């Protein structure tokens, strides 16, 4: 388990890489983006770098979209596999690394996702999790036909109407997280008896109705899947402003943030810690990971040339919600140390191109972090909660039953 002097590392996987022209690079393999083996190889590479976990991006959109809507360009990667199914497919081929797929919770049901992530935790033997993502995109809502959203643009985000939409989405995500956790606890750890002689497979008294009633969901339970190996798989979310920071503090184990500099990171972390306290979670560990998009090379000038070539192919300079790092592994390690000093407990790196930047992370950055003594040299845990220094939580319903029986 990493010490408090060490940094946690996650790698965000998205198709051929985060740059829109990444699929056109010499080493890219766009013809394999829908191949299970491709994703297995990416996870294996991240595991060679001893990363705590990978995240796998997902959406309901056909291709990249902005707040203003679906991009009509035909030179962008279009189509993707379902991230939860990718995770379940590649997990048995890995041994230590955590796997956190993205789920768009705005248009899905928590009961279905709870059993999918519980299943992922079983097939990975305790290395599963999920990143909750909301969507206010009208074109995505139209795919399901159950909801409608107003068209927003970046200039409108601070308006009362936009903030009301965002507040509703993240309140729903908070309820979603609560339903997931209750369903994962709806089976006590020893509910399965499996006694051939007596013919008793399950102890019915150790399955519990969760009885959740809220604005967005009414879920009775119990789950159909026994309690996962970790008890509670990891819940993560990405936040850019106050409302999602509240979700991170109140409902997640891991929050991803996009600070502009170390001072901004300190401010965001303070906001999340305050949200934890308001939610009564001040004694719980909530990790805060800073996101960085990375373009790496042996020299700063070479990295700049690579990025410029990609921008030329895309027809525009690359921009992102996260800070963009262009340079060497040593320079990136310096940036990570600055963020660590600001209070982040981890970094989530988004490779600009795959496989080149992914391999640069594992082959160049990780040894540099190890040389500085701020990253592990081996896995010392077999579960994702273990990697993150999180204990296996007690089952809330088992504790309640014990009080009833007294």
Annotated binding residues for FMN, written as ranges, equal 58, 102
Could you give phi then psi for residue 223, rounded to 5 degrees? -70, 165
Q: Which two tokens stand for residue 269?
A: 């972390």
How many residues appear in the chain?
Answer: 406
Residue 253 vs residues 70, 168, 223: alpha-carbon distances, Å: 31, 21, 21
Annotated binding site: 58, 102
Nearest CA among 166, 168, 171, 164 for reference residue 251: 171
The full DSSP string for 314-358 is HTS----SSEEEEE-HHHHHHHHHHHHHTT-SEEEEEESSTTHHH
To 10 degrees, what angle do helices 83-90 and 110-123 make?
A: 20
Place of tokens 């004694």: 283
Cα–chain-centroid distance for residue 245?
15
Residues 122 and 130: beta-carbon distance below 8 Å = no
Place of tokens 């040894």: 367
């Amino acid at each position: 388990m990493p010490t408090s002097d060490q940094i946690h590392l996650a790698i965000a996987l998205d198709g051929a890489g985060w740059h829109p022209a990444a699929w056109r690079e010499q080493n890219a393999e766009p013809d394999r983006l829908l191949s299970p083996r491709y994703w297995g190889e990416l996870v294996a590479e991240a595991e060679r770098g001893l990363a705590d976990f990978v995240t796998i991006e997902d959406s309901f959109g056909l291709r990249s979209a902005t707040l203003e809507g679906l991009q009509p360009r035909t030179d962008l990667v279009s189509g993707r596999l379902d991230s939860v199914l990718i995770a379940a497919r590649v997990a048995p081929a890995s041994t230590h690394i955590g796997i956190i797929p993205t789920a768009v919770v705005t248009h899905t049901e928590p009961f279905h996702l709870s059993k999918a992530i519980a299943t992922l935790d079983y097939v990975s033997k305790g290395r599963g999790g999920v990143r909750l993502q909301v969507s206010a995109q009208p074109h995505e809502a139209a795919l399901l036909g159950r909801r409608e959203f107003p068209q927003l643009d970046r200039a409108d985000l601070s308006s009362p109407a936009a903030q009301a939409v965002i507040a509703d989405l993240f309140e729903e995500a908070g309820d979603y997280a609560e339903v997931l956790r209750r369903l994962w606890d709806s089976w006590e750890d020893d509910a399965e008896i499996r006694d051939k002689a007596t013919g008793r497979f399950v102890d019915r008294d150790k399955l519990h109705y969760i009885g959740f009633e809220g604005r967005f969901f009414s879920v009775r339970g119990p789950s159909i899947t026994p309690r996962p190996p970790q008890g509670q798989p990891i819940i993560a979310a990405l936040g850019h402003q106050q409302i999602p920071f509240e979700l991170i503090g109140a409902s997640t184990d891991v929050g991803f943030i996009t600070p502009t500099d170390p001072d901004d990171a300190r401010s965001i972390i303070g906001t999340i810690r305050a949200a934890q306290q308001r939610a009564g979670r001040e004694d719980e560990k909530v990790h805060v990971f800073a996101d960085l998009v990375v373009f790496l090379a042996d020299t700063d000038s070479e990295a700049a040339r690579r990025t410029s070539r990609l921008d030329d192919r895309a027809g525009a300079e690359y921009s992102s919600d996260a800070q963009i790092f262009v340079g060497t592994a040593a320079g990136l390690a310096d940036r990570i140390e600055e963020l660590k000093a600001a209070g982040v407990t981890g970094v989530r790196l988004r490779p600009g191109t795959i496989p080149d930047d992914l391999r640069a992370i594992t082959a160049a950055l990780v040894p540099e972090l190890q040389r500085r003594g701020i990253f592990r040299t081996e896995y010392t845990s077999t579960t994702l909660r273990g990697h993150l220094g999180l204990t296996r939580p007690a089952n809330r319903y088992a504790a309640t039953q014990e009080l009833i029986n007294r």
